Amino acid sequence: MAAAGSAVGLGNIWKFPYIAGENGGGAFLVVYLVCVLLFGLPLIMTEFLIGKRSGKSAYGAFHALNGNNRWQWLSWVCMTTAFLIMGFYFVVTGWCFNYLVEACMNVFKGMDMQALTSHFKEITTNTPRMIVFGVLPVVLTACVLWFDVNKGIERLSKILMPLLLVMMFLMAGRVLMLDNSNIGMQFFFRFDFSQITPRVVLEAMGQCFFSLSIGMGALITYGAYMPKTQNVTRTSIEVIILDTLVALLAGVIIFPAVFAFGFNPAEGPQLVFVVLPAILEQMSFTWLSSVLFFGLLCIAALTSTISLMEVAVAFLCDASAAHNHPLDRRKSVLITSALVIALVLVCEFWQPLFDSFDNITACILLPLGAMGMALFVGWRLPNNGQKGVLHGEKTHIKRWARKTFIFVLRFIVPAAIIIIFLNSLGVI
């Protein structure tokens, strides 16, 4: 559940619709699903196994499993990626909190699409708001890590996540009853091969890594906390199914509404923040629905930010201990939060940085980190015997599946990532 909490977040509900909208809808969806099938299972399993075998976070895991520092660069990639993602992710989480507060105050009542668009602009350019709502989610996340109440949050999300799903099903039902909603469904589900460009493929791969939290060690940490008897394959499949379901639902909610309200699907990062309040205004029990939805969205975002910040905090603890200046956990939380707040504020006030962090992490750093981990497990770790990465997983993984898994990590995943990179650069 914790891993699913990390995976399901703004990546599904905010980023997926806007990236799909910018990249041709149906064409993007198909490539995205292919990426999930191709990369999702092997790479989630890889991270879980690295964590489970080593019992360590991203910093200690590579050293522990390799016996030397040669793969340590990967943990630096993870840590850098975590910071850059936090830089823009907290900004968007802040927007969600802002919308939650406004939903409570019934601010969206009677606003049309134009009013909602200018409202979004106002929110993202009003300095005091930007500071308050940029810092608030960082502080909340830091509190969770400081007081070590992860467990409580997980238990809470066991109830809240299904509730979010129910809420989204209801919204999808309402949206599909709008006039012209079929145009949006066609946009999202009609596959037009000619729309697949190298850029679409790169964006779809990046979105797949981002949405599943692959490639920056977040899932290594959760692997480290797994009981030895936990079935890694099953857990990975469950995370993938849940994450993909939420992304698909988000698409089914947003696109029909976009067309029904006469809006543009390629509107960029603001897309869902303009369309969602308009949809909620159409629901029965408007006030309750809006508060509930934005409340659940904030929780979904927080369970992701917790996993992001945890990578940085654990890195700082372990790295400082390795260099003989051990920092305790709470000091690491403080230092990390201070750095993140600085980064978030820069992203708030300088849009190009927000955009490039969003782009660089998904399209470059996460695939690089994931490729490194695939190569590490595929080539560096013995795949048989006591030290083998799948040792202890025997009961769950059959021989042919084990062989396929290693083969995919050794050849298929790295080759696919390199081809997509080169293709998007125009080299092939």
Find the shortest distance in angstroms from Cβ 105 to ligand PHE: 26
Q: Do residues 74 and 372 make contact, with C-beta atoms less than 8 angstroms apart?
A: yes
| Continuous segment of H or E residues that includes residue 428 | none
DSSP string covering 96-152, please?
HHHHHHHHHTTTTTT--HHHHHHHHHHHTT-HHHHHHHHHHHHHHHHHHHHTT-HHH
Residues 43-72 that bind ligand PHE (CB under 6 A): none
Q: Which stretch in 5-13, 21-29, 231-239, 324-332 sits in contact with ligand PHE by CB under 6 A?
A: 5-13
Find the shortest distance in angstroms from Cβ 72 to ligand PHE: 20
Residues 279-338 that bind ligand PHE (CB under 6 A): 304, 307-308
Contact with ligand PHE (CB under 6 A) among 23, 46, 213, 383? 213
Q: What sign results for the dihedral spanned by CA atoms 286, 289, 292, 296?
A: negative
Q: Is 10 in the site for ligand PHE (CB under 6 A)?
A: yes
Question: Of 6 and 236, which has the nearer Cβ to ligand PHE?
Answer: 6
What number of chain residues touch ligand PHE (CB under 6 A)? 15
Residues 6+ apart with CB under 8 A from 219: 3, 6, 44, 47, 48, 51, 213
Residue of this chain nearest to ligand PHE (CB atom): 11
Q: Is 157 in the site for ligand PHE (CB under 6 A)?
A: no
| Amino acid of residue 159 | I
Q: Is 240 in the site for ligand PHE (CB under 6 A)?
A: no
Find the shortest distance in angstroms from Cβ 324 to ligand PHE: 30
Alpha carbons within 13 A on the beta-carbon side of 148: 4
Question: Of 218 and 280, which has the nearer Cβ to ligand PHE?
Answer: 218
Q: Is 85 in the site for ligand PHE (CB under 6 A)?
A: yes
Question: Of 218 and 381, which has the nearer Cβ to ligand PHE?
Answer: 218
Residues 6+ apart with CB under 8 A from 72: 62, 63
| Amino acid of residue 138 | V
Q: Is 12 in the site for ligand PHE (CB under 6 A)?
A: yes
Residues that bind ligand PHE (CB under 6 A): 6-7, 9-12, 85, 210-211, 213, 216, 218, 304, 307-308
